[in-house]
Structure 1
Amino acid sequence: MRALVAFLALLGAVFAKREHSGRETTPNLMLLLADQFRFDLLEEESLPNLRRLGQEGASFQAHYSSTPTCTPARAALLTGRSPWGHGMLGYGAVAPRYELEMARALEQHSAVVGKNHFGWDRRTQSPKAHGYQHLQIYDGLGNGFVNGSEFDDYDQWFQQQLPGQDPLRSGGLDWNSWRGAPYDFEEKFHPTAWTGRRAREALQHFAAAGDPFFLKVSFHRPHSPYDPPRRLLDATPPPKSAPAKAADQWDDHFRNCSQQGEQDAWCGEVAPAALNLTRRAYRASARFVDEEVGRIMQELEGLGLKEKTFILFTSDHGDQQMDHFLWRKGYPYEAASHIPLLLRWPESMDLGPRGVKVSEVTELRDIFPTFLAVSGLWNETLAQHMEGRPLTQLLRTGKSQWRKWVDLEHDVVYSPEIHWSALTDGRMKFVFLAHTGEEQLFDLQNDPSETHNLAKEPSHASELRTWRERMVRQFEAEDRGEEWVSGGRLQVRQQSCLYGPNYPLPTKNCRLVAPLAEIV
């Protein structure tokens, strides 16, 4: 409770002393995130509030997370850069500071509620802020016990409300389990409900201040544990279709893997009853987020802020949910890398017709430039520093100048065989499996579930060569070196390379020179 009081008091004190800046026409910015949220969840009627954002604005049909695990995805959001640009090529530690960061660059008052995943400073018992002025954090990595791994704002609040209880006890789950279970406590204690409440409280203080604001509302769910309230779990049927699997058996070696059956397994077929429950629980968790988004939108409207606020919803990555016998994230396949993107803009902004569906390929690196453009801060100097571009270009003009495809990649995760680079334009996808040199080519228009690997088909040899050459040219343009491409040929990479040369801390041979804790 003390942390919340301090958070609200600081908001009030800063705003009470600040005179209006003369930027009343600058829109407010709100970034809504839901962790581990698949693109195809938006096809479900049970998410009316999120779907309404797209109906009242725009929905982007080919939006991707280039490095689809939590921390590198958030580095892309923070910097507006590609994986090679910000230097995180897999699941590692977000650096303590980057040359240009979202909240520092935007001129609005900034606050974040929910998951940041930037790290927790044990010395100060506070989150690493990266420019956010006011923070209420739930990263989902601790349990609130003093001897736990983290003791963030939600964990502290939970222990004040329910001393000695474990917020992760529901069904014996943990924060990376593939299993599902109903939430054990009263609904008001759930992290999703907590995040929604804190966001509405922040909006009330922003409204009282009157100056433009930037609010990031970052829901931890539907990331595991899949622990929705029982009322939502009971009301949520399983998906109508079974998990995707390959017609040509390219995924068959994931069906029976060494970790199969373990609570946090990354691969393996699951018995029908357990699969039914986990798929329902995952979707019910998304429904709970949708309910809280609806309450936030009602708060915006009630405060007179809805038509003064530019709203963007996305995720950091998706969730395999046993598509191709895989779980969680970190893969090049659609369930993990293809994520939602919705925009809603104020009536005062002329961004064309509403309810449009945008087919051009976009990525998380485009979010920061978009907020800069909406705030009137985007310029050619910034464009030279970032690989991302403002999404508003696709709603006004400039489609002809937009990228034709986007790069994806991930360093070794879970197993040496999960190590890959990929390219996609939202219609075709090329995957290079770095540990073996095997190639995959998928026709996403006719085979969105990636059930047939066309790389083995002679009829697609020319297209395969085109995509392979595009990747070669990209690696050469980025000067990645002979470990990546040599003599015009992609190279097998069995060694891990977690941090590239653009990571803003000393590295050697793709690893930090010293442990991150020692450096910061």
Structure 2
Amino acid sequence: MRTKNMFKVKKLIVALMGCLFFTVSLAQKPNILFVFADQLRSQELSCYGGVNIKTPNLDRLADEGLMMTNAISTYPICSPFRGMLLTGLYPLKSGISNNDHPLNPELPSFAKSCKKEGYNTAYIGKWHIDGIGRTAYIPEERRLGYDHWQALECTHNYFKSLYFHNNEVEPKYWKGFDAEAQTKAAQDYIRARDTEKPFFLTLSWGPPHDPYIAPQEYMDKVEPKKLILRENVTEHLMEEELQNNPRFKIPERYIHSHAKLRVRAKDENIIRKRYAGYLAATLALDDYIGELLQTLEEEGILDNTIVVFTSDHGDQLGSHQFYGKNVPFAESISIPFLVRYPKVLKQGTIADNLLSPIDMFSTVFGMANIDHHEIDGVDLTPAIVNEAVDARDAILLMNLTHFNNTSLINGLDTYRGIQTKKYTYARYEDKTPWLLFDNENDPFQVNNLVGNSAYTGLIKTLDKKLDKLLIEAQDPENTKEIYDRIMRENPKRIMVNEFRKVNPDL
């Protein structure tokens, strides 16, 4: 009997030791706080050389950790970025071929991977990958593994902003400016966390995306007349080429409804006013980053938390006289990527490795030593930390459809392209070269090298690289095929039928 009882005691001790080891190992895993803004181009942050405002808290992330100078938004509009970020898959694999198109909720995701590793998961802010309706309730099974939930599909009504709290089907309103309220919700989540388990918290802000507003205290800090505009705001040749020689027909009602928006990309007074609101919102976000860092410090977990800041894409704000985003110019595709994690990253690390949205979480997970599902992205941690050979020599660029606001307003056709450290190249679907820029010698991209016979060989080389990336992305480079797929997945996309009426080949 004694032997039997001793055996039971030993089993209990072993079990308790196992639980203790599991708890300790979980406690040693780093927390992850991943914050991203909407439509914030890298050029505005002072750590990236911005000249109009100071962003000391975001600069702190760069000073105390990593700043990546070649973070590129592959498909620079909202939903495709989010699909790539949360799954690590290219748009046609995740299903997000355009804004307001549903992502397959059965897909693996980084939040699901974190849960398998023992993490608590939380999402706060703008979602925009459900595709069922911008104010519709998103049930638990469509949240890609996030448990704590304070989110809405999409709104840019920043001072009267809805969200759903966990499984409550009646929406609530964020108090005041939604980005500030969402930051406070993130702080509350961190303070009330389960201290025996690490957390994976994603915070998604709507600003500085238009309507370019912020609390008045920040609006008062930026004077439109004193702003230094980018040198390419007056460049208009490429925009005029698209307006005067459209490669597709825009349905009549969209021509009229978007005519006034074209003016906003040409009128300097309007550009300055919008730019001022954009920068005011950026100042607010910088303060909120500071508050998040302070909360992590107060909780004693700052150095055991991987803090990441990025954005889904940029904003033309009149550069090249284009409206919005979704064009392969630096203002649209160049985004910040800042990481603080002193256990892996040296202070003041500046890396010029090419980074796509599909690489972001795999790189963060590499720093955290967390396993995840098979993805298209790569972990850039070894190349960053060891200054090794780059994992990528080119990033894919794309616009898969015609029916988003920026395509309609700018007369923009579908395109595919690539970004290297030196060049930006884009071509139309029929393989006709559209743009080629030498970004080292022409940083404002005003000298299009397409048509210059000295670059014929380079274009052929870039085309081969692009073809290889399209195979990896399972992109047929065929708008008709993509539109057929969209209609199968979401028959309510009436805009596809509208485009096909005036463009029978689509």
Which TM-score band (shorter chain)?
0.7 to 0.9
Which residue, out of 360, 370, 388, partners 2:377? 388
SS at match of 2:461: helix
Distance apart, 1:197 and its partner CA: 0.9
1:402 is aligned to 391
Residue 301 (1) aligns with residue 277 (2): no
Q: Contact conserved, 2:126 with 2:205, CA < 8 A, in 1? A: yes
Judged with a 3 Å threshold, the aligned counterparts in structure 2 of structure 1 residues 362 and 267 are, in CA distance, closer, same or farther, namely farther
TM-score of the aligned structures, taking structure 2 as reference length:
0.78
> Could you tell me how far apart the structure 1 residues matched to 2:331 and 2:309 are?
18
Q: How does 1:116-515 map to 2 (within 5 A)?
A: 116-119=127-130, 126=139, 128-141=142-155, 152=164, 156-158=171-173, 189-206=176-193, 209-238=195-224, 239-242=227-230, 244-245=232-233, 249-253=237-241, 265=261, 269-345=265-341, 347=342, 349-351=343-345, 353-378=346-371, 382=373, 385-397=374-386, 399-400=388-389, 402-411=391-400, 412=402, 413=404, 414-415=407-408, 417-434=412-429, 437-475=432-470, 484=477, 495=480, 497=482, 508-509=484-485, 511-515=487-491
> Could you tell me how far apart the structure 1 residues matched to 2:288 and 2:109 are?
28
> Could you tell me how far apart the structure 2 residues matched to 1:417 and 1:436 are?
16
> Could you tell me how far apart the structure 2 residues matched to 1:110 and 1:516 are?
32
Distance apart, 1:509 and its partner CA: 4.4
Q: How does 1:91-110 map to 2 (within 5 A)?
A: 91-106=99-114, 107=117, 108-110=119-121
Q: Contact conserved, 2:158 with 2:177, CA < 8 A, in 1? A: no
Judged with a 3 Å threshold, the aligned counterparts in structure 2 of structure 1 residues 129 and 494 are, in CA distance, closer, same or farther, namely closer
1:110-145 CA-partner distances (Å, limit 9, x unpaired): 111111223368886657421101011144438699
Which residue, out of 7, 32, 40, partners 1:37? 40
Distance apart, 1:271 and its partner CA: 2.7
Distance apart, 1:35 and its partner CA: 0.8
Judged with a 3 Å threshold, the aligned counterparts in structure 2 of structure 1 residues 272 and 246 are, in CA distance, closer, same or farther, namely closer
SS at match of 2:79: helix
Q: How does 1:64-103 map to 2 (within 5 A)?
A: 64-103=72-111
> Could you tell me how far apart the structure 1 residues matched to 2:350 and 2:147 are?
34
How many correspondences in the alignment? 442
Judged with a 3 Å threshold, the aligned counterparts in structure 2 of structure 1 residues 479 and 270 are, in CA distance, closer, same or farther, namely closer
Judged with a 3 Å threshold, the aligned counterparts in structure 2 of structure 1 residues 263 and 109 are, in CA distance, closer, same or farther, namely farther
SS at match of 2:261: coil
Judged with a 3 Å threshold, the aligned counterparts in structure 2 of structure 1 residues 480 and 109 are, in CA distance, closer, same or farther, namely closer
Q: Contact conserved, 1:112 with 1:136, CA < 8 A, in 2? A: yes
Paired-residue identity, %: 22
Q: Contact conserved, 1:144 with 1:158, CA < 8 A, in 2? A: no
Judged with a 3 Å threshold, the aligned counterparts in structure 2 of structure 1 residues 336 and 264 are, in CA distance, closer, same or farther, namely farther
Return the letter of the residue paired with 2:44.
L
Return the letter of the residue paired with 1:404.
D
Distance apart, 1:406 and its partner CA: 1.1
RMSD: 3.3
Judged with a 3 Å threshold, the aligned counterparts in structure 2 of structure 1 residues 77 and 516 are, in CA distance, closer, same or farther, namely farther
Return the letter of the residue paired with 2:364.
F
Q: Contact conserved, 1:75 with 1:94, CA < 8 A, in 2? A: no
SS at match of 1:472: helix
Distance apart, 1:192 and its partner CA: 1.6
1:13-54 CA-partner distances (Å, limit 9, x unpaired): xxxxxx936422111111011111101011335211111101
Q: Which runs of 5+ in 1 are unaligned?
A: 1-18, 160-187, 485-492, 499-507
Judged with a 3 Å threshold, the aligned counterparts in structure 2 of structure 1 residues 494 and 71 are, in CA distance, closer, same or farther, namely closer
Q: Which runs of 5+ in 2 are unaligned?
A: 1-21, 247-253, 494-506
* Greater Cα radius of gyration, structure 1 or 2: 2
> Could you tell me how far apart the structure 2 residues matched to 1:426 and 1:219 are?
29
Return the letter of the residue paired with 2:178.
P
Distance apart, 1:249 and its partner CA: 2.0
> Could you tell me how far apart the structure 2 residues matched to 1:371 and 1:79 are?
13
Q: How does 1:53-64 map to 2 (within 5 A)?
A: 53-64=61-72
Judged with a 3 Å threshold, the aligned counterparts in structure 2 of structure 1 residues 402 and 451 are, in CA distance, closer, same or farther, namely same
2:502 is aligned to none
> Could you tell me how far apart the structure 1 residues matched to 2:441 and 2:333 are?
18
Return the letter of the residue paired with 2:482.
C
Return the letter of the residue paired with 2:127.
N
Q: Contact conserved, 1:29 with 1:214, CA < 8 A, in 2? A: yes
Distance apart, 1:461 and its partner CA: 1.8
Distance apart, 1:438 and its partner CA: 4.0
Return the letter of the residue paired with 1:396.
V
SS at match of 2:203: strand
Judged with a 3 Å threshold, the aligned counterparts in structure 2 of structure 1 residues 217 and 143 are, in CA distance, closer, same or farther, namely closer
Distance apart, 1:343 and its partner CA: 0.8
Judged with a 3 Å threshold, the aligned counterparts in structure 2 of structure 1 residues 275 and 299 are, in CA distance, closer, same or farther, namely same
TM-score of the aligned structures, taking structure 1 as reference length:
0.76
> Could you tell me how far apart the structure 2 residues matched to 1:209 and 1:374 are?
21
Judged with a 3 Å threshold, the aligned counterparts in structure 2 of structure 1 residues 24 and 321 are, in CA distance, closer, same or farther, namely same
Q: Contact conserved, 1:66 with 1:83, CA < 8 A, in 2? A: no
Return the letter of the residue paired with 2:361.
F
Distance apart, 1:356 and its partner CA: 1.8
Q: Contact conserved, 1:110 with 1:213, CA < 8 A, in 2? A: yes
2:28 is aligned to 25
Judged with a 3 Å threshold, the aligned counterparts in structure 2 of structure 1 residues 123 and 87 are, in CA distance, closer, same or farther, namely closer
Distance apart, 1:404 and its partner CA: 0.7
1:165-217 CA-partner distances (Å, limit 9, x unpaired): xxxxxxxxxxxxxxxxxxxxxxx6011211111111111012x6342111111
Name whichever structure is richer in helix by fraction: 2
1:181 is aligned to none
SS at match of 1:61: strand
SS at match of 1:297: helix
Distance apart, 1:425 and its partner CA: 1.2
